[in-house]
Amino acid sequence: MSPIGLTLIGSLVMGLPALIVAWFAFRRQRPIFFFAVALILVGLGYLATTNAPTGIALAILGAKS
C-alpha cells in the first residue's frame, strides 16, 4: 500500500473517534464544536509530519514497513 494510503488510514483511525467524542460533547455548542474540529485537524496535521499515522496503520493492518 502507498504511504499516502497508510497516512490516510492512520489519520482516520485517530481522527474519527476524536470527532465523534467532540460531536457528543459539543453538539449543542456549535462554535466550540468547530473549534474542537480545528484543533483535531491541527493535531492530525502535526502527527502526519511525524509519520505517526503510518505506524498506526501498519500496526492495525498487521503489515511490516
Tell me the pLDDT tens digit for each residue of 48-57: 999 899 999 9
* Residue 59, number of CB atoms within 10 A of its CB: 11
| Mean pLDDT (whole number) for 43-47 | 94
pLDDT-derived band at 65 (thresholds 50, 70, 90) equals: low
- What CA–CA distance (Å, rounded) separates 46 from 33? 20
pTM (2 decimals)?
0.85
